[in-house]
Chains A and B, each alone.
Chain A
């Protein structure tokens, strides 16, 4: 329980040293003597499952949360970060996952918000555009600075946020899961920016769930668990397994899905063509009952568009056969009647009704049948078995769903479709986004279980290792087309990754 104290003197003064940080929230101890040491010019990864205390520690660093105990030193000097303004003044810049840009202003306006170059009260627009251009060029952005942020792709928004962080003279830059919203190509740009930042001697704290990124970009990593810093790794020598083991602790073992035989027999879902000019043109994808079909692709390759088209939610022309018949998929309501279910990309905005209780969220799909009375009783009767079957952890069915953890929230979205009954095709769009390792494995186990009951599953994910571990086949989408289909049992991940990025298939194509 002793704080590790002063430790051995290192020859290099750390850029940032956080020692013995304790933060209590009602009912939880978010940080329990957490430690973090970041060297100048270092990319330091912060790892840990959801709830391990990473974000609290970063909020303390940003100055938006005050620690109960502990000491923060910047370049050897003790600092007190009593507000976000104090954090910024001390040279700490945080790029949050939910970008804090003003969506209706232009890139240039956002970059220099509150600091626009001006002559008296008149803003010097030309000068502002120049400054903004410089900042955007520096992070490798090629979009115009007079573009309105709302209309930019998410990757460009992310680059804008990074560029803004750099316009202040930041010594420590925190990036909170930038890859959660970025495709492979855009992530390259962000990595280039990180490399140039560290080359200038600035320090970057990189938070991510993806081991491959961490191994690639990081110099060292601190692993947090239950509010404590459990280990520090030199990433040149560490293995991903080692890091994952440190993250989940000894008590639990890493669950790997069983490698079961691929389902055979006639297809349940035949996608003949999904077409929308300029956006998507997907042909001939078949999913058998009990099969989990993976959809791989870069951001913007059409995975989400394909799933929403199947769910009746785009203007795309859809030609689909379900069990030999042609279902009507003109709207989400029609798709639901046909037995389709969607777990959307963004569970807070598209999946859940945050103010309503767990039971009401899970029951809302199950009410659309006569006699249309007593929704609470009828809904709970159908929702409770679905919730407990998925192992959702909640204190009471009346608990607001917004207070559950991410993994449990996602399971409530899934429970909603199980409670409805008659599920035939399950469409999963990035179902594990923001979930920790344990919750991911759990969710995939439940999806497998559903598939075993004869449901056809289409699983879109930007995490290729999740697809190869959980899908029976992986379809690769590239620029709106399905360019290849691989069996992950016989094709290695590198081959699939190559197709995902380039759209090219090797000569030995393992399509079925």
Chain B
């Protein structure tokens, strides 16, 4: 009798806590990032009085928006268990073409559309090669990283463009509505749109299915290759858009821009809790992670810590975040 009750008790206790636990852990993972973000903001405003000024905050949003737009596209790619290393080069190419096209008196809207379309085309080619020929995306986009950067240099022989850009175009990347930078609004809009696509459309559900198990998705009759090609096209388009916005802000096309952007974007996606092997995660995590990383950078700047120091801190934060995620997941699996 004693043994049977001793057995029954932990059993009941375990089943009692069993159901909420994985959900709780999930919430904590999501919540954790927001908590860390808020804590960091509080710490920042305590450490330096300059942090909590509208000017600084709007600068911050402006600076993080471009990386953020790219990171949203990267999130979609990583959700399908892919990776896009070419984003920095595609962004630079988009920024250069839009400057050159406008310099050649092409209509501004048309120039923007053409640049973004070029980015989408690059993504389609790299993603298509990966999807239809089963080449690893790591390699096709690594090839893209080099080739497209080279192409960008070839456009002007490596020189920045100098043609004047119309004021209306400059507003896009450098303008403000009240205190809110327009690029920040674009970032928010892109995030919401991507979130709606992921949660509210069949295409979004297919992204998760492909990322979770490509083979099972294929044998369920899903258009796996199409989905993979599409996410790379989206990533390419969003990268080119980021390039366009940068050109608009700098008022020149800069072929060396966005070097190493892919690493910032991937770091934000992973910090945001998206699984590098696909199938799990979302854009909201990425959104918060992008802001968190740039608050961190901003804080270092305000405190007068150099960029070398920032790099070290960013790396350490990534490692800690990964370990935390891993621990949470382990606990979730055990429950």
Contact = CB atoms under 8 A, between A and B. Distances in A.
B334 A355 contact: no
Contact of A332 (B3, B205, B221): B221
Given A26-B18, A365-B220, A368-B221, A353 B202 contact: no
Nearest to B16: A27
A364 B4 contact: no
B221 A375 contact: no
Interface string A42-80: 000000000000000000000000000000000000000
B199 interface: yes
A395 B152 CA distance: 55
Contacts of A379: 205
A360 B219 contact: no
Interface centre among A24, A26, A360 (most CB of B within 10 A): A26
A364 B279 CA distance: 13
Contacts of A332: 218-221
Contact of B223 (A24, A27, A333, A363): A333
Interface stretch (B6-14, B37-45, B56-64, B244-252): B6-14
Contacts of B206: 364, 367
Contacts of B201: 372-373, 375
Nearest to B4: A1
Interface string A23-40: 010111100000000000
A349 B215 contact: yes
A508 interface: no
A373 B199 CA distance: 9
Interface stretch (A97-105, A297-305, A335-343, A478-486): A335-343
A374 interface: yes
Interface residues of A, number: 39
A356 interface: yes
A495 to B, nearest CB: 34
A311 interface: yes
B32 interface: no
B217 interface: yes
Contacts of A258: none
Given A26-B335, A27-B14, A352 B221 contact: no
B3 A373 contact: no
B205 A367 contact: yes
B81 to A, nearest CB: 11
Contact of B11 (A27, A352, A395, A400): A27
Contact of B221 (A337, A350, A351, A376): A337
B10 A24 contact: yes
A356 B209 CA distance: 8
B212 interface: yes
Interface in A372-411: 372-376, 379, 395-396, 400
Nearest to B3: A1
B205 A364 contact: yes
Given A27-B11, A332-B218, A352-B213, A367 B223 contact: no
A412 to B, nearest CB: 11
Given A373-B200, A375-B202, A333 B221 contact: yes
A337 B223 CA distance: 12
B19 interface: yes
B219 to A, nearest CB: 5
A354 interface: yes
A333 to B, nearest CB: 5
Given A333-B222, A364-B205, A350 B215 contact: yes
A431 interface: no
Q: When A and B form their complex, which 9 residue pairs have the shortest distance between CB atoms, in order from nearest? A: A336-B221, A353-B212, A375-B205, A26-B14, A372-B202, A367-B202, A27-B14, A353-B213, A333-B221
Interface of B: 3-4, 7, 10-11, 14-15, 18-19, 22, 199-206, 208-209, 212-213, 215-223, 275, 279-280, 334-335
18 contacts: A24-B10, A26-B10, A26-B334, A26-B335, A27-B11, A27-B14, A332-B218, A332-B220, A333-B223, A336-B221, A349-B213, A350-B215, A352-B213, A365-B222, A368-B221, A376-B199, A376-B205, A416-B220
Given A26-B335, A29-B11, A364-B205, 4 more contacts: A313-B219, A372-B203, A373-B202, A400-B22
